[in-house]
Structure 1
Amino acid sequence: MEQRLLNRIVVDPKIMVGKPVIKGTRIPVEIILKKLAQNIDIKEILEDFPRLTIDDIKAAVMYAESLVENTEVFPLLSA
């Protein structure tokens, strides 16, 4: 299921300057994440963006999670 959801995210330099978007739309993952971070209800997001589905929202969160999970962390050197 995870890969099926992640396949809903597209990165194409010709669409929104290469920002990750929901496949078949110009809706950036970033917008979905911002709305969720602002505690906007999923139902309201779906009303604001009728082309989105609940799986698109799940895919956006999963995409962000995979980016954070795969980021290397280096300790800061103190002066």
Structure 2
Amino acid sequence: MILTGFPRIAVDPAVCGGRPTLAGTRMRVTDVLEMLAGGATAAQIAADFPYISEDDVRAVLAYAAGLADHPVVLAAE
């Protein structure tokens, strides 16, 4: 299933245990984020994995930003 608002991100219980992936691939969103966190550029990732594009990498970042955009509630001390 393609996620609403994120046409390049898909979730399918039969693919990667239902973890979000780039649509049409088995490349998990977390795989791309870990590569970026490790210092890889979008161009390097696209070159290493020719079945994804730099636009796919940017879509992963947009999806992650959307997930992180929520208030954090802390318990009172």
TM-score (norm. length: structure 1): 0.84
**Pairs within 5 Å for 1:1-79:** 3=5, 6-69=6-69, 71-78=70-77
Q: How far did residue 66 of structure 1 move? A: 0.6
RCO higher in structure (CA 8 A, sep ≥6): 1
Structure richer in helix, relative to its length: 1
Structure 2 residue matching 1:74: 3-state secondary structure: coil
Identity of matched residues, %: 34
Higher strand share: 2
Structure 1 stretches lacking a partner, 5+ long = none
Gaps of 5+ in 2: none
Instruction: Give RMSD over aligned pairs.
Output: 1.2
